[in-house]
Amino acid sequence: MIENLVIVESPAKAKTIEKFLGKDYTVQSCFGHIRDLAKKNLGIEIKNNYQPQYIVSDDKKKVVSELKKYATDSRIVWLASDEDREGEAIAWHLCEVLKLKPENTRRIVFHEITENAIRQAIREPRGINKNLVNAQQARRVLDRLVGFELSPILWKKIQPALSAGRVQSVAVRLLVEREREIISFKASSAYRVVALFLFTDEAGEKKSLKAELSERFPTREETLDFLGKCIRANYKIIGISTRPSTKSPAPPFTTSTLQQEASRKLGFSVSQTMSVAQRLYESGKITYMRTDSVNLSNLALGTVKKVIEQEYGDKYVKIRKFKTKSKGAQEAHEAIRPTFIANKDIQGNVQEKRLYDLIWKRTVASQMSDAQIEKTTVTIEISTADENFLATGEVITFDGFLKVYFESRDEEGEENGRAMLPPVQLQQELTCDSITATEKFTPPPLRYTEATLVKKLEELGIGRPSTYAPTISTIQNRGYVVKEDRPGITRELHLITLKDEKIREEEKTEYAGREKGKLFPNNIGIIVNDFLIEHFEDIINYHFTAKIEKEFDEIAVGKLVWTAMIDAFYSSFHKKVETTLESSEKEKGERYLGEDPVTGKKVFVKMGRYGPIAQLGDSQEEEKPKFASLIKGQLIENITLEEALELFKLPRIIGTFEGKELVIGLGKFGPYVRHEGKFYSLKKGIDDPLTIEADRAIELIGEKREADQKRIIKTFAEDPDLLVLRGRYGPYISFQKKNYKIPRKMDPEKLGYSDCKEIIERHDKSGKSKN
């Protein structure tokens, strides 16, 4: 007989709590939700007032049967799932599935894993809040209805295996709309004018001062006109103003802000951050990593205070209570912080150490004093012009939290105004060494990274800490978006300088717009997005989640019946589903580009069975149209007639090598060179399939042959098809287009022909028995 059984969601949490509670308590974990809607036929009985059909999935059966054993053996069962909508539902499902009796079941909640908080919770048990459970059921059922009714429409009207949902479809919409802003963006330029002044200070030392003109000139003529006025002008300081200001630290990490900072500072992907954080959590080094709360426990605040006092001194301490700003936050946990703040560093791999360091610094800095900053602006008058030059400098008079941590930004701003200014006086005369006017282009809107997309979703109240990373993966897995680097463009910019009373003009080339690790929408993402917006704008709407969240809140306080809410939504939604299925045509995203000037045939771009294609000639006419695949990265959205016509120039024969033809073509995996039946990929961003020449193609073939050679560990005279190769996961055997794992005990260098044959045979046999 067990006296007390406590059930929590996470096994790591169970371990910690068991330590606090002692031997009268057995603590088990249920690993999150233990059952979910059946996958067949929606899992909801629509005609039976939306009765959910819950089933325990296969991978949860083991956990459930173990918990059942424990529960029947226990005097009191304490349900300690999180204090939020999902946690309440988990507690309710546990009651139902484990058949718990109310008289020996208690529901308890705590927001922080400290002994006090848990003892306190046990002193204040309550029952299950059925209203809150109903709010969760409404959330669950609505998401299933939306996801499982919209997705099949896409299979029918666009392409199989696509998906749509309340969260993912909005994420894609954000990316598509941003891409359109970038496509339609027209850069304008203006001249930024910077002067370099020289003077001698009181000690006789030569000093310099850089200052920027208070305005930028939109044209070359105006810039020239201004610089002309500056020849033989006199310069005098007519103003020095200093303005004190303060900077405050950012709040402790939530899931979303941790993902953002790990991306900016450490270059981690969103899922990488989560898996490293998971390891830190499981080894007891940090608190729970899926949270939307910026709150720190009083215990933690006390330790942070001590650490700051010891490391930096009393005047660096400023204890703060942060309030969450994000919509729909449920705050079931603390903010993400080190479990033991006194530990400045930890054991672990490089990634773990770096992420821990980031969390430590952010936590500590959040409880430190404001930084005091003095901003100085020096105004310099030009005797021959109305404009002024301004020199700005910044001096940190008290570093405060900046001693530990500085939050990064997403924009790549110009390094400006950060430097200290040399000491100068009012009315001081300056000598102008030179003035440089540089043409500056306005930057286009920023593309999203994984992390900035998470930030945006959080601002909109869409998605939860546990789903940010999976959502980002889903929209990439469906092919809606791709995360990649893309090269920028080089462009000419105009430079005008005034030095030694002479004005000189020159052209400079600038490399701009290179993208690294950004999210780009694909054609299929754009087509799905446009289709959903045309037929279901109200759901793909940025405010849809906020709207239904309000209704869930009403359900949670008992003011609204959950099935009534679902019925109001579903009856109009389902009507739209039916009319869309009946009326709308198959959507191929076709766009007409114009006529081919050579043949006079019409040119279209659209989605084909295997991807986006260009079509030359109308399908109505007698002659069959020609087709050509679009190159990766080309969008139906903005491809030009000229670019489309180029595509029909492939495949091209560009010469011969070793007596065989070199053919450039475009395949499933991008542009290639074909030679003797073998394929060699062109280098992305370097080679253009339409202009590549034989020399370069031969070079590529050589590189590939060399790389293949390096992969070979062993070959056998008995059979040229059998190879021992070095691969991503270590050495393996390749035979007749199939790969085989080498047992760990065996040395790949010493494998003989018969050894390999044996491995292959053994594998093939076991493979057969499995199928």
Partner DNA sequence: CAGTGAGCGAGCTTCCGCTTGACTT
Nearer to DNA by Cβ, of 144 and 602: the residue is: 144
Order of strands across the sheet that contains 105-107? 25-29, 2-8, 74-79, 105-107
Comparing CA positions, the residue from 257, 169, 269, 178 lying closest to residue 469 is: 269
Query: Of residues 288, 312, 356, 732, which has the active-site annotation?
Result: 288
Could you tell me the sign of the dihedral formed by the alpha carbons of 689, 692, 698, 704, in that order?
Answer: negative
Residue 191's DSSP bridge partners are 217, 439
Nearer to DNA by Cβ, of 41 and 754: the residue is: 41
Report in angstroms how near the CB of residue 31 gets to DNA at its nearest: 4
- Rounded to 10 deg, the angle between the 168-184 and 450-459 helix axes is 110
Q: 630: Cβ–Cβ under 8 A, 6 or more apart, which residues?
A: 523, 605, 611, 612, 613, 614, 636, 639, 647
What is the helix, strand, coil percentage profile of the chain, to 5? Answer: 40, 25, 35
Task: Compute the distance between CA of residue 652 and CA of residue 720 in angstroms, rounded to an integer.
Answer: 32
Residue 481's DSSP bridge partners are 521
DSSP 34: S
Which one-letter amino acid corresponds to residue 339?
T
Quick check: helix, strand or coil at residue 365?
A: helix
Tokens of 549: 């969240």
Task: Compute the distance between CA of residue 447 and CA of residue 174 in angstroms, rounded to an integer.
Answer: 10
HEC string of 415-478 equals CCCCCCCCCCCCCCEEEEEEEEEEEEECCCCCCCCHHHHHHHHHHCCCCCCCCHHHHHHHHHHC
Nearer to DNA by Cβ, of 32 and 517: the residue is: 32
In Å, what is the CA distance from 176 to each residue of 54, 75, 520, 560, 620? Answer: 36, 56, 8, 36, 32
Report in angstroms how near the CB of residue 217 gets to DNA at its nearest: 49
- CB count, 10 Å around CB of 538? 13
Task: Compute the distance between CA of residue 127 and CA of residue 346 in angstroms, rounded to an integer.
Answer: 41
Report in angstroms how near the CB of residue 456 gets to DNA at its nearest: 14
Task: Compute the distance between CA of residue 638 and CA of residue 41 in angstroms, rounded to an integer.
Answer: 40
Nearer to DNA by Cβ, of 44 and 195: the residue is: 44
Report in angstroms how near the CB of residue 115 gets to DNA at its nearest: 20
Report in angstroms how near the CB of residue 263 gets to DNA at its nearest: 19
Report in angstroms how near the CB of residue 54 gets to DNA at its nearest: 11
- Per the annotation, the verdict on 70 as an active-site residue is no
- Provide the Cα torsion 249, 253, 255, 261; round to 10°: 60
Report in angstroms how near the CB of residue 610 gets to DNA at its nearest: 3
Report in angstroms how near the CB of residue 109 gets to DNA at its nearest: 13
Nearer to DNA by Cβ, of 180 and 763: the residue is: 763
Nearer to DNA by Cβ, of 403 and 478: the residue is: 478
Nearer to DNA by Cβ, of 193 and 548: the residue is: 548
DSSP 668: T
Task: Compute the distance between CA of residue 519 and CA of residue 269 in angstroms, rounded to an integer.
Answer: 12
Report in angstroms how near the CB of residue 755 gets to DNA at its nearest: 15
Task: Compute the distance between CA of residue 120 and CA of residue 156 in angstroms, rounded to an integer.
Answer: 55
Q: Could you tell me if 456 and 261 are in contact, meaning their C-beta atoms sit under 8 angstroms apart?
A: no
Nearer to DNA by Cβ, of 139 and 518: the residue is: 139
Nearer to DNA by Cβ, of 85 and 107: the residue is: 85
The residues annotated with a catalytic role in the active site are 288
